[in-house]
Amino acid sequence: MPPVNVRLPVLTATEVIANLEALRARQPVKYAAFYSSQLGGIVTDPALMVIPFDDHMVHRGHGIFDTAGIVQGRIYDLEAHLDRFMGSAERSKLTLAGSRDAMRNIIVSTVATSGLRDGAIRYWLSSGPGNLDLSPAASAQPGFFVIVFGGLSYPDRWYTEGLRVMTTTYPIKPPLYAITKATNYLPNVLMQMEAKEAGLDNGVFIDEAGYVGESSNMNVAFVTSDGVFRHPRFERVLPGCTSLRLLELAQSLVGRLFTGVDVCNIPVADARAAREMFLIGSSVKVAPVVEWDGQPIGDGRPGPAARALLALLDEDMRTGNRLIDVPY
Ligand SMILES: Cc1ncc(COP(=O)(O)O)c(C=O)c1O
């Protein structure tokens, strides 16, 4: 911030670009490529990865997003992520910026330009710029944005020792907002910050009826004391693409590690008595939770189901039938 009483400069376009570059020099980021329908193409300089301030995604949160992974030069399960993206757009009354085929093509091209062979793709649909009102401006054109980056990473300790979580004090989202991946993540942000401030790894939402919800950007699932792989219904939680896939893949473990696979409301008391508990998502994959609100889950150590589910997912991400080749 400039000192008080100093006349503020009115900047030229050249100065703006220089200042954006200086900002990124002070705070380097590793975003490999960015597509913007507003810019009309792809940029690789993070200083140019910008969006107009009056886009309603910025000042009203009227936008949606999704994230898919890049594994060994291929995109994993993009169709499932696009299905969810289309559903989020419809529920948010957002006009698509192009057809599904056009969006897929832009995503694949942006990954190819990035050169990244392992990482993540996050893409957004925005309501568009044009005014500072609530409803989109009459002339608003929806924006489509894609960023390719290294992906979120978590400590090795999460997988070797397991995570410690707490029940958040923040209220869970109502169903419409829980199943729509909109750019309104305030409850999720506050929940994660609250857990970190308490020296823990993450939080868990519980709904008003006392059923388990989800974590900040991950689903939660359990192995019950009688061996059922149990997941909350996808009503108060985001339908996680990773969870939905694992619920299919886990069938191969029934009769060995699991006595069944089940999606239902899970009362907190049942959940606390689980043999194992996991966080599941595209970025975390499958990570064991060993402590919840100061009480151990099972024997307080990562269990065999967490390892088996992670192995199943890893195999699917590398050699399964849900991979798209990238024309680098
Ligand atoms: C709130 C929330 N729940 C669950 C998930 C897990 O979803 P996915 O497996 O598609 O990454 C995410 C991540 O996108 C999320 O943001």
Which atom in ligand 1 lies closest to the alpha carbon of residue 81?
A: 10
Give the model confidence (pLDDT) of 255-299 as tens digits. 999 999 999 999 999 999 999 999 999 999 999 999 999 999 999
Distance, in Å, from the CA atom of 89 to the CA atom of 35, rounded to the nearest integer, reads 19
What pLDDT was estimated at residue 33?
A: 98
Which atom in ligand 1 lies closest to the alpha carbon of residue 219?
A: 4
Give the model confidence (pLDDT) of 126-135 as tens digits. 999 999 999 9
AA identity, residue 219: N
What pLDDT was estimated at residue 21?
A: 97
Collect all residues with Cβ–Cβ distance below 8 Å to 154 and sequence separation of at least 6.
283, 284, 287
Distance, in Å, from the CA atom of 303 to the CA atom of 258, rounded to the nearest integer, reads 13
What pLDDT was estimated at residue 3?
A: 78
Q: What is the reported pTM?
A: 0.97
Kindly report the average pLDDT of the chain as a whole number: 97
What pLDDT was estimated at residue 325?
A: 97
- Ligand 1 centroid to 218 CA: how many Å? 5
Query: Crossing angle, helix 100-114 and helix 78-91, to 10 degrees?
Result: 130
Task: Please say if the pLDDT value at position 1 is more than 80.
Answer: no
Collect all residues with Cβ–Cβ distance below 8 Å to 223 and sequence separation of at least 6.
229, 230, 257, 258, 274, 275, 276, 277, 303, 305
CB 201 within 8 A of CB 193: no
Long-range contacts of 99-107 (CB under 8 A, 24+ apart): 103/144, 104/78, 106/35, 106/144, 106/146, 107/68, 107/75, 107/78, 107/146
What pLDDT was estimated at residue 76?
A: 98
Work out whether the CA dihedral 241, 244, 248, 252 comes out positive or negative: positive
Which tokens is 301 given? 């150590």
Give the model confidence (pLDDT) of 102-152 as tens digits. 999 999 999 999 999 999 999 999 999 999 999 999 999 999 999 999 999
Pocket test for ligand 1, best of 245, 282, 284, 285 (most atoms within 8 A of CB): 282
Give 14's Cβ-side CA count (13 Å radius).
0
Give the model confidence (pLDDT) of 77-102 as tens digits. 999 999 999 999 999 999 999 999 99
In 3D, which of 152, 153, 216, 208 has the Cα closest to residue 186?
216
Which tokens is 13 given? 């376009």
- Ligand 1 centroid to 8 CA: how many Å? 42
* Residue in the structure block whose two tokens are 């056009």: 102
AA identity, residue 315: E
- Ligand 1 centroid to 137 CA: how many Å? 30
Task: Please say if the pLDDT value at position 48 is more than 80.
Answer: yes
- The alpha carbon of 301 is separated from its chain's Cα centroid by a whole number of angstroms, namely 26
The residues assigned a catalytic role are 181
What pLDDT was estimated at residue 87?
A: 98
Which residues have CB under 6 Å of ligand 1?
A: 67, 188, 214, 217-219, 238, 240-243, 281-282
Which tokens is 95 given? 């006009």
Give the model confidence (pLDDT) of 183-221 as tens digits. 999 999 999 999 999 999 999 999 999 999 999 999 999
Name the pLDDT band for 5 (thresholds 50, 70, 90). confident
* Residue in the structure block whose two tokens are 């503020």: 8
Collect all residues with Cβ–Cβ distance below 8 Å to 114 and sequence separation of at least 6.
32, 33, 44, 148
Task: Please say if the pLDDT value at position 49 is more than 80.
Answer: yes
Report helix, strand or coil for 70: strand
DSSP annotation of 267: B
Give the model confidence (pLDDT) of 154-188 as tens digits. 999 999 999 999 999 999 999 999 999 999 999 99
Write b or e for each residue in 294-322: b if 16 or more Cβ atoms lie within 10 A of its Cβ, otherwise e: eeebbeeebbebbebbbebbeebbeebee
